[in-house]
Amino acid sequence: MFRELASLTRREFLKLARNPAAIFTSLLLPLLYLLLFGNGFTFNPQSYVGPNPGQFPNLQAALDFLFRGAPSYYSYFACGMVGFVAVTATLFSGANVIFDKLFGIFKRVRGTPAPSAAVFGSRLIASATQPILLAFFVLGLALAFAYLPPLHGLSVTANVGAVGILEAVAAIVLLSLMFATLFLTFGILIDVPQTYFAAVNTINLPVLLTSDALYPWGTMPSWLQNISQYNPVSLCVNVLREVFFGSSAYPYGPGVYLLGLLGWTIVLMGLAIGLVRRALRPLE
Amino acid sequence: MQGSEAVVTEKLTKVYGGKVKAVSEISFQVHRGEAFGFLGPNGAGKTTTLSMLTAGLRPTSGQAVVAGLDVGKFPELVKRQIGVIFQESTADGDLTGLENIEVAAGCFGIPRSEARSRARSLIEQMQLKEASDRLAKTYSGGMRRRLELAVGLVNQPKILFLDEPTLGLDPQGRAGFWGFVQKLRKETGLTVFVTTHYLDEADGMCDRIAIIDHGTIVASGTPGDLKDKLGGDVVTLKTASGTRDLSDALRGLPGVFSVQHQDSSYRVKCQSGETFVPIAVDACSRAGVGITGVSVKRPSLDEVFLEFTGREFREDGEGMTATDRAVMMNRIRGQMRR
């Protein structure tokens, strides 16, 4: 099983390394979002401070309300971008399976005794690695922008210890695994690229738009806030924001959100294993 | 393996969607070390049979034993004993020739160092050494086919299944490919099961052949035996269109075994074409029917196919074309997967 997994994983990374255009565009998208989208919003939390109804007595209370403790929209948004890239970077993982089916490569692999776990696992490893690396790219770039005025950047205001780093990494890994599992399963079950992209779009937009990855929390209507707290993208982003900003604006600690994310991942993986094993069983 | 048989099927049947019987109760044996040709037009059931034998498709009923193993019970073990070259190109264009073979070796659980040494040896054997580090997408059609042959041999199979392996290759590529297969057979005693559209290839390459049509085997034997069954030469007479039917007149001529009439052509099986032609021309002339063309053929596999199916090799005269049938089968397979 491990030799088959290693061999097929090597194939995935070789293919990725030989596609510099895909690597370039995968870096370009978050770069443009960080540069243009993040800097395009100029929320001034100071305007929420004051004695009038709807205003807050001090800046921290306004920040807690608007950005759940983040010192600026940009810092809030940079964490949201990690969730955003976990979805967008895994979108094509299932499409690659469909193209491999069309080119006969999938058929050839299925003609060997390689177990379905190795066939799926190799693709999962490769697909999840991309958003994990991109998440570190996003955070690194956002931190660097803080030193490049007049750009806004990510300001970490909490003392992030080893546990915090582990919690952040675990959140990023779980979210990446979850979406890679979801889209790969689509790719294995669907044979037609057009159908795949239609299915993926019905998932990715609602998931992103019902999360608090990009919207300032305080400006979201309460019904959207309610939905958002169960959204896996929000769960991942909550962990990062709590770790980086040490906010008291969250009702639970990072561990609870990590557990929620783990629950999502386990449920989706359980479903995926059943469906994939059925689809890839030795005799059709 | 079970006795001296590499492949044994007993009433092997595949029905798609409970309606379309692609393969119907076929039984045959492939002896160890022989090259066995499986012939038939599109939609005849060749690829479905091959898929059942290579553990890709579950039979609806019947049994297939490959390399001594029941395919239905031990599909993974069967896959370890066989090599398969699929109809479509399956080389991974973004990997080099060597990497293609190494990855395939890994799929059989072969350790990396062993995989590398087997890949090098196979690349040399297939005369692809110069191109071994080039991406497969830069290979010509013939080179890709040879690479796929190398991939199919990476697990040192006992039986090699080839599904229309030379489809789309130019004559030089076809000849080259079969040269490698023959060399392999000579050196290793490999059993080869091949489906092909090219009757000349089956004639030259196979020890025995089976002809499948509408999912059933209509004839089998050595190419020589099958040609002998035709019993003589085949003369085709073409007459002007609209002339009267000469079938009865031709049947009455000496040395004639059978006459088939289609449009304005007569396909006459006779003892000797050379003797028959002047007599036939004379008979037609006396009947007032002008001959517009004559051809005499020694029996070939094309003739064998025509004899046993009543159709040209690439025709399907029962409403649905061979392409329609193949498209329909693919749709049904797709629906079943969903």
The per-residue pLDDT for range A201-222, each reduced to its tens digit, is 999 899 999 999 888 888 889 9
Q: Indicate the residue of B77, B79, B337 with minimum beta-carbon distance to A111.
A: B79
Residue A182: closest CA among A158, A163, A199: A199
Contact A284 B58 (CB under 8 A): yes
Query: Is residue A214 within 8 Å of A80, Cβ to Cβ?
Result: yes
pLDDT single digits (tens) B187-234 = 888 999 999 877 778 888 889 999 888 889 988 888 877 777 766 788
Using the predicted structure, report yes or no on whether residue A199 has a pLDDT greater than 50: yes
Task: Give me the residue from A104, A111, A283 closest to B88, CB to CB.
Answer: A104
| pLDDT of B135 over the 80 cut | yes
- The answer to whether position A284 is within a domain reads no
Cβ pair B58:A283 closer than 8 A: yes
pLDDT at B335 over 50: no
What is the rounded average pLDDT of the residues A24-35?
90
Could you tell me the residue range of the domain that residue A274 belongs to? 2-279
Block residue for tokens 């392999």 = B184
Question: Does residue B336 sit at the A interface (CB-CB below 8 Å)?
Answer: yes
Alpha-carbon gap, residue B12 to B14, rounded angstroms: 7
Structure tokens at A218: 């305080």
pLDDT of residue A207: 92
What is the CATH T-level fold of the domain B5-91+139-222, as seen in this structure?
Rossmann fold (3.40.50)
- Specify the pLDDT at position B297: 81
Within B113-271, strands assigned E span 159-163, 191-196, 208-213, 216-221, 233-239, 256-262, 265-270
Q: Name chain B contacts of A186, Cβ cutoff 8 Å.
A: none
The token duo for B300 is 């070939």
DSSP character at residue B244: P
Q: A interface mutation test: which of B66, B103, B151, B164 has the most A CBs within 10 A?
A: B103
Q: Does a structural domain hold residue A133? A: yes
The answer to whether residue B317 scores a pLDDT higher than 60 is no
Domain count, chain A: 1
Contact residues on chain B for A10, CB-CB shorter than 8 A: 103, 106
- The more confidently predicted of residues A249 and B140 is B140
Question: Where along chain B do its domains lie?
Answer: 5-91+139-222, 232-298
- Which residues in chain B are closer than 8 Å to A114, comparing Cβ atoms? 106-108
Place of tokens 């004899």: B307
List the single residue in A18, A103, A282 with the smallest CB-CB distance to B76.
A282
What is the reported pLDDT for A284?
A: 63
Where does the pLDDT of residue B50 fall: very low under 50, low under 70, confident under 90, or very high at 90 and above? very high
Say if residues B212 and B40 touch (Cβ distance below 8 Å): yes
Instruction: Report the residue of A4, A101, A105, A185 to disrupt the B interface, i.e. the one with the largest count of B CBs within 10 Å.
Output: A105
Q: Which residue did the predictor score with more confidence, A267 or A248?
A: A267
- Largest Cα–Cα separation, chain B: 79
Q: Which residues pair with A127 in a beta bridge?
A: none
Give me the residue from B58, B107, B112 closest to A114, CB to CB. Answer: B107
pLDDT band at B53 (very low <50, low <70, confident <90, very high): very high
Task: Check CB contact under 8 Å for A7 and B106.
Answer: yes
Position B322 scores a pLDDT of 41
Average pLDDT over residues B81-105: 91
Which one is predicted more confidently, B137 or B317?
B137
* CB-nearest partner of A112 from B93, B102, B104: B104
A110: which chain B residues are within 8 Å (Cβ-Cβ)? 56
Average pLDDT over residues A24-28: 90
- Is pLDDT larger for residue A239 or for residue B334? A239
CATH of domain B232-298: 3.30.70.100
pLDDT recorded at residue A187? 93
Q: List for chain A the helix, strand, coil content (%; round to 5).
A: 75, 0, 25
pTM of the model: 0.78
The backbone region for B124, taken as left when phi is positive above 0, alpha when psi lies in -120 to 50, beta otherwise, is alpha
In terms of pLDDT, which residue wins out, A218 or B15?
B15
| pLDDT confidence of residue B296 | 87
Q: Mean pLDDT in chain B?
A: 83
Residue with more model confidence, A14 or B126: A14
The band of A39, judged by pLDDT with boundaries at 50, 70 and 90, is confident
CB-closest option in A6, A10, A108 to B90: A108
**Residue A196 carries which DSSP code?**
H
Answer whether B57 touches A (CB < 8 Å): yes
Query: What pLDDT, on the 0 to 100 scale, is given for residue B188?
Result: 86
Residue of B nearest to A14 (CA): B95
**pLDDT(B268) > 50:** yes
> Is the pLDDT at A82 greater than 70, yes or no?
yes
Distance, CA of B211 to CA of A71 (rounded, Å): 78
Q: Which of B54, B71, B101, B107 to mutate to test the interface with A (most CBs of A within 10 A)?
A: B107
User: Which residues from B are below 8 Å from A107, CB to CB?
Assistant: 86, 88, 90
Confidence bin at B311 (pLDDT 50/70/90): low
CA distance B194 to A159: 69
Q: According to the model, what pLDDT value does residue A170 have? A: 95
- Give CA–CA dist A87/A74, Å, rounded: 20
> What number of CA atoms fall less than 13 Å from residue A195's CA on the CB side?
10
| A113 to chain B: closest CA residue | B76
d(CA B337, nearest CA chain A) in Å: 7
Taking residues A86-99, what's their average pLDDT?
A: 90
Q: Give residue B143's identity as a one-letter amino acid code.
A: M
pLDDT tens, A123-160?
999 999 999 999 999 999 999 988 888 888 888 888 88
Percent of chain B residues topping a pLDDT of 70? 90
pLDDT band at A184 (very low <50, low <70, confident <90, very high): very high
Alpha carbons B156 and B153: distance in angstroms, whole number: 5
